[in-house]
Structure 1
Amino acid sequence: MKLLRFGEPGAEKPGLLDAQGAVRDLSAVLPDLTGDALGPASLRRLAALDPAALPLAPEGARVGSCVARPGKFICIGLNYADHARETGKEPPPEPIVFMKATSAVVGPNDDVEIPRGAAKTDWEVELGVVIGTRAKYVGEADALDHVAGYCVVNDVSERAFQSEHGGQWTKGKSHDTFGPTGPWLVTRDEIPDPQALDLWLEVDGVRRQTGNTRTMIFGVAGLVSYLSRFMTLEPGDIIATGTPPGVGLGLKPPVFLRAGQEMRLGIEGLGEQRQRTVAATRESGR
């Protein structure tokens, strides 16, 4: 299944994409796509529905983040060897883990803000893993059983905030709008091998990133198992699994985002995103 959320920021409804590409309204079946809705029993119930019997969503409705109110947004740094090297670092011996504030989460096609004082705002297409069942001390062989599905994530980053202001990376990763997620949560049964997905990103029509998840240093199963040693993973948590080479920081000379540009990105089988960059405002809608 392809699950999504539609409607204005703060008033999204759950939906399902039918075989014809139309969005069907699930709000009579469940209140929202929170962690409670992503467990195996709930997903089986949704899969048994007849999409044709569900009402259509309004044509042209905005698409929101495919997960409502994730408890944690966990990110993995330098998880593609070529990306590590383009940033001047060696591939890590263990996963580099950092957090992105959940207030950064927006819809896949919402505007992305260039923060006040930013100098090096960058793009990162990433495979997102959405947890469906609680995971604590799980083995790698069983790790994927705890995954509800997968989605596209743009791990937007302000490199100056990330690396030039002391402390950890979180401050460069957490500005409002720095976490476009979706358009869909594609359930695990539709993605038999998460290590065989093409991913790409363009800025103003110029291809910047082209990669495949098979070149990850640490695969999805290994990451879920590893993270479950250090924190309990809860339904609805999102793991952004790292980005392939081609980020602005790695170009020679480096190229960074400015207001008025367009990013387009996607992952095989998981859909596409499209964002316009704008100058930061006092308030941001989600």
Structure 2
Amino acid sequence: MLVATLVSAHGQALVGEALLARLARTVPGIARTAALDGAVAADLFAEAADARKLEAAVREALEGAAIDIVVQPAASRRKALFLADMDSTMIGQECIDELAAFVGLKEHVAAITERAMRGEIEFEPALRERVGLLKGVPLSVIGEIIRDRITLTPGGRELVRTMRAHGGYTALVSGGFTVFTGPISTTIGFDEHRSNTLIAEDGLLTGRVADPILGKQAKLDALIALRTRLGLAPAQTLAVGDGANDLAMLGEAGLGLAFRAKPAVAAAADARLDHADLTALLYAQGYTGSEIVRS
């Protein structure tokens, strides 16, 4: 049996009883419906074998409503390992772009970042190029950037803390930098973080990043290593990201979700989140509103 989880756009309650009743009548194969959190999120259970076909049928029936859909096998929906990208996923910004603002190069660096995240250029050389432009930036600005420029994506703390409260393991796996992932992972509540290391001398960035670069392959390797260490089956893993360097990790996860993602990533992932906040990843696992650890 498949389950199609419907989650309203952030701050809205669009999945009411009337909508669920209409979907049950019009979408072939729907066996039953169940509310997860009032009219914010709900499940449609279907006797169907093709997740893509079911998603397409539900999406058509929703007639453009700002509701996200996650379709997966019902039996394996609850996950024990969660890996997340940081920039533009768990936070609303790209940290390297914010660093570049201090040398007046934010627009230039952001353009390179965008191309790399779309998969138009290779991630590793693009990272080295951008870091090279940061030579001379004082490390002391990191705390200021985190305090004044970085915003947490709604639902992220609830997602991580609820999974941990139910025995899950969580890791922030970023192509960004440890000076950001360290404090941000602590604030959100992750078990661990992995990212790249900026090289500094006398309190100033040298324009270099330590090898090896944590990119697409390293994110995939992290998922496999953590899954193996924890003795989990592939179906017990969950990953979320937005850029081309997340594709391998998303593809290996039992459920790979694209969050506000670049087109190629949204097309390749198991599901995409265009409207909901990150609590959608909890509803997709079958958590109800009363089970979510609010923070």
Same fold per TM (> 0.5)?
Answer: no
The structure, 1 or 2, with the larger RCO (C-alpha pairs under 8 Å, 6+ apart) is: 1
| Structure with larger Rg | 2
TM-score w.r.t. length of structure 2 = 0.29
Structure with more helix by fraction: 2
